[in-house]
Structure 1
Amino acid sequence: MVEQLPAYVIVMFVLAMVPGPDMMIIMKNTLALNRRAGRITLTGILAGHLFWIAISVVGLAVIIANSPAIFNTIKYLGAFYLIYIGIQSLRAGVLVPRQSIDHIDSLKETVSRKSLIQSFRQGFVANILNPKVLILYMTIIPQFVTGEGQTTLGYNQQILLLAAILLIVSIIWFMTVVELVNLLKRWMKSHVFQNWLSKGAGAVIIFFGVRTLLWG
């Protein structure tokens, strides 16, 4: 498996960098609140990955993927949740509050505990209800497991290693996104621009929700 790791890391970075629901939710929460909210959202996404790692190791991922009823339930719930988040963003009007712009250099900018919990929940729920994440653990990651891991123990060890690399890649990329998006706040003082940005973010998230709904 060692010789395949460079290719695997590249594939994971490409997958992480492709715009998707996780990235849009992180961007939305970073803009609407602050870097801390963006990082908390990322923590929720990572918790979702840990959930799928556990599911994969105990073999439930195969059962879920092969059960149309369970798989479609996950898909539809995920789609409607994204649409719900998108509608919330559309209705928000101002995505970047004035006080958030005035304190963009402060990591301790005041954000309510409720908002942080909501950020975590959005990242977590969107991830565990994303059928493409299930497919990732079902098809892409197992392709990089070599023959030396044919025993259950060996297979799970390789899955855990590959999953750990995926988590590291996700942390590196999404933390970069959080910092870049936070810097963009300097140019977002226009109320009109904020209004259009909020609607644009909501529309994109709704798009991902509809695409998930129609996927497969």
Structure 2
Amino acid sequence: MPDLLSFMLVSIVVIVVPGPDTAVALRNTLFGGRAAGVSTALGIAAGQVVWALAASAGMVAVLVASEPLFLAVKYAGAAYLVWLGIQALREAFRPSPLAPGQGGPRQPPQRRITPSAACRQGLVSDLGNPKMAVFFSSLLPQFVPAGGETFSALLFLGLVFALMTFLWLALYAALVARLGDVLRLPGVRRTVEAVTGVLLVGLGLRIAAEQR
């Protein structure tokens, strides 16, 4: 029990610190509302379950030890974050649709992301984050009780981490969605989307450039 409590405390620190998953959840909540934000959290948690299974089976250790595989995951995940960031920046600078009677050509409305697409983006974002591989292969084993069954213990800790991540990001999405009326104001929306886009691009470039 002390090991589990210690693990949960460490996990809280890791989860609440903003990173790629938080940025993707924010972006999708802005584009698709609470449903898209919660679906993104579900996709991210599903990705962490995959990491937990891989870590329990020893596959993550192989990934971390293999430089080519690790770099492939790192660069693929970084490129995906940059792509999402560019999409957010495009939305930030997209002309707002004109209200009826204002004259001039009507611009296309802001695109909204569906819950299924948001879930898929959350899954791909988390699976493309090499820090998850390092986290699950290095931190989780430290909290496995001595003499315990390694596979089940690692899987249990991974599932706990995934559940905590989902609850946090779902709450985060709900809080952002409650500010929907304010965030939908053209000036505020553009600013938030621009900031989110810059963050995603910056996170992608940082992941691509940083060492292990």
Partners of 1:158 and 1:189 lie apart in 2 by 45
Contact conserved, 1:78 with 1:130, CA < 8 A, in 2? yes
Write the letter of the residue equivalent to 1:49: Q
Partners of 1:42 and 1:189 lie apart in 2 by 22
Partners of 2:169 and 2:178 lie apart in 1 by 14
Pairing of 1:121-160 with structure 2 (within 5 A): 121-149=120-148, 154-160=149-155
Instruction: Tell me: CA distance 1:94–1:178, structure 2 relative to 1, closer, same or farther (3 Å).
Output: farther
Contact conserved, 2:26 with 2:176, CA < 8 A, in 1? yes
Higher helix share goes to which structure?
A: 1
Write the letter of the residue equivalent to 1:61: V
Partners of 1:171 and 1:27 lie apart in 2 by 14
TM normalised by structure 1 equals 0.85
1:11 aligns with 2:10: yes
Partners of 2:187 and 2:44 lie apart in 1 by 31
**Corresponding residue pairs, total:** 197
Partners of 2:171 and 2:184 lie apart in 1 by 22
Partners of 2:85 and 2:79 lie apart in 1 by 10
Contact conserved, 2:36 with 2:115, CA < 8 A, in 1? yes
Contact conserved, 2:46 with 2:162, CA < 8 A, in 1? no
Tell me the SS of whatever aligns to 1:81: helix
Question: 4+ runs of 1 displaced by more than 3 Å?
Answer: none
Pairing of 1:54-69 with structure 2 (within 5 A): 54-69=53-68
- Report the CA distance between 1:94 and its aligned residue: 7.1
Partners of 2:82 and 2:62 lie apart in 1 by 27
Structure 1 residue aligned with 2:101? none
Q: Which runs of 5+ in 1 are unaligned?
A: 99-110
Tell me the SS of whatever aligns to 1:148: coil
Write the letter of the residue equivalent to 2:120: R
Counterpart among 144, 155, 174 of residue 169 in structure 2? 174
Structure 2 residue aligned with 1:192? 187
Structure 2 residue aligned with 1:45? 44
Q: Cα RMSD over matched residues?
A: 2.0
Contact conserved, 1:74 with 1:129, CA < 8 A, in 2? yes
What does the per-residue CA deviation read over 1:167-191, in whole Å, with 9 as the maximum and x for residues that have no partner?
A: 2211221111011111122322431
Q: Which runs of 5+ in 2 are unaligned?
A: 98-110
Q: Percent identity?
A: 28
Pairing of 1:202-213 with structure 2 (within 5 A): 202-213=197-208
Structure 1 residue aligned with 2:107? none
Contact conserved, 2:73 with 2:130, CA < 8 A, in 1? yes
- Report the CA distance between 1:116 and its aligned residue: 2.5
Instruction: Tell me: CA distance 1:138–1:78, structure 2 relative to 1, closer, same or farther (3 Å).
Output: same
1:28 aligns with 2:23: no
Partners of 2:126 and 2:163 lie apart in 1 by 16
Contact conserved, 1:8 with 1:144, CA < 8 A, in 2? yes
Contact conserved, 1:94 with 1:194, CA < 8 A, in 2? no
Structure 2 residue aligned with 1:161? 156
Tell me the SS of whatever aligns to 2:179: helix
